[in-house]
A and B are shown apart, each in its own frame.
Chain A
């Protein structure tokens, strides 16, 4: 059952409650019907508008056309819309047969009828109205519980009891740091919770939010949205170096950089006054687009494609809007004109895309650069002064000796003296100087600095062009068909835009996104955080807050969270703390008969939700319980073992030389991902492909996953490590490492029948081991 239907059932199951509860809500009840059935032909887009009728505005719907009005508020009989909905005449009925849309259901008709009778009141789309903080006396996590309990109460339901301590610590550890707790941590928490559960839990959450692994876990959440991967994509799929951006995200989240700053630095860090290296690295966000390096391409076509992707990603990630439709035509469902799309495009069309060299913080780059220049000057002077030494050496050289010279030396010798470079001369002096000669000492230092300055890591960043590119509308999104020129700007339906820099550039766009008037961003981000903690957002269509998207299940809670988020200085850590300390979060995840009957899909959250672990965490958890995990943070991506033949699935066979030592056992976050040939054990558990932004992972449940956990060489290796733990510390101990709980006698009996390797393999394959419950 879809959520809309579900909400709908609540609504129509007793129409009398609707009447008693007051007027029909346009936004919650009527707009979805209009959007689904009518607006494709009677909406915002004038090019596809039939009969010049629009139903998305009150003026359009109630205006008189040829003596007829689609809607006459309060008068059903005079409303042509109502007549057409009821009609069975194929030429009259709405929606018409040629639209391939099904007629309105009885329930939908009942709502439309009631709405017209009540005066057909229109409202702006809910998500375009800034959130208003609901007045509740509860604060903090109690406010969350208030809203959840209220809706449950309306359905005659109650929250579930709290999850047991050992399950709770496993759940919150997996959610906040992406790793299961150790048995010692479970024991300590269980003991402390027996004393004072709330205090023990608060301490636990504090510890987890302070862990550097928090940044790793939540970086993956963000990197999905940033469509991060380590190669260029398309057919050639060459490797790229952009992991500094990944480490930047981990670091920013660990230091709890306010989300508004986090946003500005990624969209326009290079344009901030006094921009730092770190802020430039942050602009890698939009360098995660794919690059086509195939022969014979029109480079401009793929540059334009990458801008399309940047527009789509920016609006989906921060605004929860799908503006892509307006690439080719005015949006049919949301009030976004094609021209407005290209005004957004214009912000992102003025960049060059350079590579930035980044050094380890211990390297004094400016000091070394200065010293390098100074030495160079000295070397030039000394060489000039002592050139006679080279001249003599050349004069004394026999032709035979000359012919045996190394090629670099030979080339230098063959050049006329005045054409010889510093490197040439240093090579020549290198032959004749004694080891202690001051010139040689200086030359060695010169070489050393040169090497150091070439050792930095590169990363991809954004840089504004000195003068902007001309941006035009493209007819039907075709870059070969430019039309009217546009300047940067934002859609009129949204909050006010200010050209704060006077330059109308990306920095203005970034500031506009996090400005207080924005109705969307705080809601969209809070919804996505909620989604991580409960498996589903309060708005289920987490990437579409437009009129085609879903309605919030708890609109007041969403607005409360959004306003709390900004009030707490856009602190993600504070919001995590608030959510995970709520009673709502701490509930047991088990189903109950009354919930199963009244709310089988758990929209009302009368329990927590069991969720299969994310792809990387399936790996991380298996590494942890088998004692193999390397906790090393950051650095270049690594190459854990992958099956033979995987890399030959792409056009160009890329090398994969397996990492040695602890790099073999790093977290999944650090595995090198080629877009054309991604690591199978990640893909099979629904890791995104990095081709476009991913705001919610699908959680599939397939035989190939079973085969991976059973037979994949890496998982088998983890099992043999777990086997050793069983042999050393016993079966029960190993069971607890995997599930955090003690096994029952029955479970021990079943496992006890197996040899230790089989038992270890069973433990790694348990649903409970790969599920956060």
Chain B
């Protein structure tokens, strides 16, 4: 042992065996750096999809709480006709609901929203969404979306991860894991939030689950710095910051040379990307270069204010920069009928918050030639029941059997309405589309086979679409 301790250490690179002299250092470091670059494994480096993709990026506009399809898209005159009458037993036999132990909420609820067909495609949209009504020919509506879980946090997990259990990777994580990122100065999966509170489920919704945390969603923050720790500490100059990073790199390179540990090469790259992010994140957030026309298109009055509209604009800017998956959460779509969330007073406001910006996003992407490569998704974790809840005001309960989502761009067929609900809007009359089918279809458009995009954990190959058979909905893609 004594001898062993004092033997000269052998170095990993044979040329180092004479030690590192002052002059040789620069060239040696340059060598090591190129070596580092070649052996460093950047987990977000772009990867080949399974087959040629139709789309490269996704923007998911997530209406957290469960938006009502019956006041927005799914026009059911029969419901108005039967307003106040109990729902026929045949519809609800054996079904489970949220708040199922309470007595209210078994009577049908109509509404007096004005529905009209819009565009060449003749899609139904209510008077609550005039801007969306103006772009129906760019949208693909699915009226028969179906999920498994009827409470918010589990259902949100389900829509994002394909499972109601915690610990599974979110869709954005799966995509960056499968495809890498085309952006080397921003994260590959970015989350934006608007509305009065955070979404139920919190960080689990953009978790990378069993995948490495490199694939985790990174929230762009509404207050303080846009990305946590993106700002150089106050009192530290840019020159000092650069000097710190350069010295860290020089010292880390020496360790790399001594130990041959590739993780050091990865860390050197991570510091370089961190430094780039320090510039690119503020650039991203700085919308002063956007024209007034663009701000008007989105309906942005104060670009500094956190609104769904500003987030839509940021989503476009993120996709422009190659960010793979952008998710916008807008909260308070849970219109049960209480004093804070009901169909009379609050739904119109919520609809107004998102209508113009969402339509603007689609128009803006299209005008810039980005819509072909980008899938825009609008929807929530579930829809709402045809039966009404009568609390202080009226509202609707959580509903999992049929709800509406829309898709635009990325090879989804424009001007199409797919699936049809029964006359009360309770379940699918034809063509039900399960959340796993939606996932399979999105992956397909990005060039990924949902059965092959797997990650092994505990001896099992996990995938976004779970173990039960699911299929790509061919009818909604071009």
Q: Are B260 and A689 in contact (CB under 8 A)?
A: no
Does A450 make an interface contact (CB < 8 A)? Answer: no
Q: Are A292 and B248 in contact (CB under 8 A)?
A: no
| Contact (A747, B251) CB under 8 Å given A592-B10, A678-B203 | yes
Which one, B54-62, B206-214, B357-365, B405-413, is touching chain A?
B206-214
A198–B1 Cα distance when bound, in Å, is 8
Q: Mark B154-174, 1 if CB is under 8 A from A, else 0.
A: 100000000001110000000
Nearest-neighbor residue (CB-CB) of B277 within chain A: A703
A701–B457 Cα distance when bound, in Å, is 20
Q: Mark B8-28, 1 if CB is under 8 A from A, else 0.
A: 011110100000101001000
CB distance from A44 to the nearest CB of B (A): 14
- Tell me which residues across on chain A come within 8 A of B25, comparing CB atoms: 746
Docked complex: A12-47 residues within 8 A CB-CB of B = none
Does A716 make an interface contact (CB < 8 A)? Answer: yes
Q: Which of A305, A543, A768 contacts B255 (CB 8 A)?
A: A768
Q: Are B200 and A294 in contact (CB under 8 A)?
A: yes
Which one, A230-238, A372-380, A664-672, A725-733, is touching chain B?
A230-238
Q: Are A706 and B267 in contact (CB under 8 A)?
A: yes
- Tell me which residues across on chain B come within 8 A of A295, comparing CB atoms: 98-99
Q: Chain A: interface secondary structure?
A: loop
CB distance from A679 to the nearest CB of B (A): 11
Does B366 make an interface contact (CB < 8 A)? Answer: no
Q: Are A652 and B459 in contact (CB under 8 A)?
A: no
| Contact (A692, B274) CB under 8 Å given A316-B458, A590-B259, A754-B244 | no
Which one, A149-157, A158-166, A382-390, A435-443, is touching chain B?
A158-166
A305–B264 Cα distance when bound, in Å, is 42
CB distance from A172 to the nearest CB of B (A): 15
Number of cross-chain contacts by CB at 8 Å: 260
- Tell me which residues across on chain A come within 8 A of B270, comparing CB atoms: 701-703, 705-706
Docked complex: B379-425 residues within 8 A CB-CB of A = 397-398
Does A67 make an interface contact (CB < 8 A)? Answer: no
CB distance from A627 to the nearest CB of B (A): 19
Q: Are B213 and A294 in contact (CB under 8 A)?
A: no
Does A704 make an interface contact (CB < 8 A)? Answer: yes
Does A399 make an interface contact (CB < 8 A)? Answer: no
Does A396 make an interface contact (CB < 8 A)? Answer: no
Nearest-neighbor residue (CB-CB) of A694 within chain B: B167
- Tell me which residues across on chain B come within 8 A of A325, comparing CB atoms: 460
Does A762 make an interface contact (CB < 8 A)? Answer: yes
CB distance from B148 to the nearest CB of A (A): 10
Q: Are A707 and B230 in contact (CB under 8 A)?
A: yes
Does A354 make an interface contact (CB < 8 A)? Answer: no
Q: Are A707 and B227 in contact (CB under 8 A)?
A: yes
Does A272 make an interface contact (CB < 8 A)? Answer: no
Does B96 make an interface contact (CB < 8 A)? Answer: yes
| Contact (A689, B244) CB under 8 Å given A480-B96, A648-B197 | no
Q: Mark B244-258, 1 if CB is under 8 A from A, else 0.
A: 110110111011001
A543–B231 Cα distance when bound, in Å, is 39
Docked complex: A48-98 residues within 8 A CB-CB of B = none
CB distance from B84 to the nearest CB of A (A): 22
Q: Are A703 and B151 in contact (CB under 8 A)?
A: no
CB distance from B15 to the nearest CB of A (A): 12
Docked complex: A184-236 residues within 8 A CB-CB of B = 193, 197-198, 233-235
Interface centre among B11, B20, B271, B398 (most CB of A within 10 A): B271
Q: Are B228 and A750 in contact (CB under 8 A)?
A: no
Which one, B116-124, B127-135, B217-225, is touching chain A?
B217-225
Q: Are A755 and B261 in contact (CB under 8 A)?
A: no
- Tell me which residues across on chain B come within 8 A of A286, comparing CB atoms: none
| Contact (A643, B96) CB under 8 Å given A322-B459, A676-B204, A746-B20 | no
Q: Are B229 and A711 in contact (CB under 8 A)?
A: yes
A675–B202 Cα distance when bound, in Å, is 8
Q: Are B259 and A296 in contact (CB under 8 A)?
A: no
Q: Are A596 and B12 in contact (CB under 8 A)?
A: yes
Does B5 make an interface contact (CB < 8 A)? Answer: yes
Does B199 make an interface contact (CB < 8 A)? Answer: yes
Does B82 make an interface contact (CB < 8 A)? Answer: no
Docked complex: A305-334 residues within 8 A CB-CB of B = 305, 316, 322, 324-325, 333
- Tell me which residues across on chain B come within 8 A of A589, comparing CB atoms: 259, 261
Does B240 make an interface contact (CB < 8 A)? Answer: yes
CB distance from B135 to the nearest CB of A (A): 31
Instruction: Spell out A's residues near B (CB within 8 Å).
Output: 100, 161-162, 164-165, 193, 197-198, 233-235, 237, 290, 292, 294-298, 305, 316, 322, 324-325, 333, 480, 541, 543-544, 546-549, 588-593, 596, 610, 612, 643-646, 648-653, 675-678, 680, 683-684, 686, 689, 691-692, 698, 700-708, 710-713, 716, 744, 746-747, 750-751, 753-755, 757-758, 761-762, 765-768, 771, 773
If A298-B100, A298-B101 are given as contacts, then 17 extra A-B residue pairs at C-beta distance below 8 Å, sorted by A number, are: A100-B452, A162-B4, A164-B9, A235-B200, A325-B460, A333-B459, A541-B458, A591-B259, A643-B228, A645-B224, A649-B198, A676-B198, A700-B212, A705-B270, A707-B228, A750-B247, A765-B244
**Can you list the 8 inter-chain pairs with the closest CB atoms, starting with the nearest?**
A548-B459, A235-B200, A676-B202, A591-B260, A691-B166, A296-B98, A296-B99, A706-B274
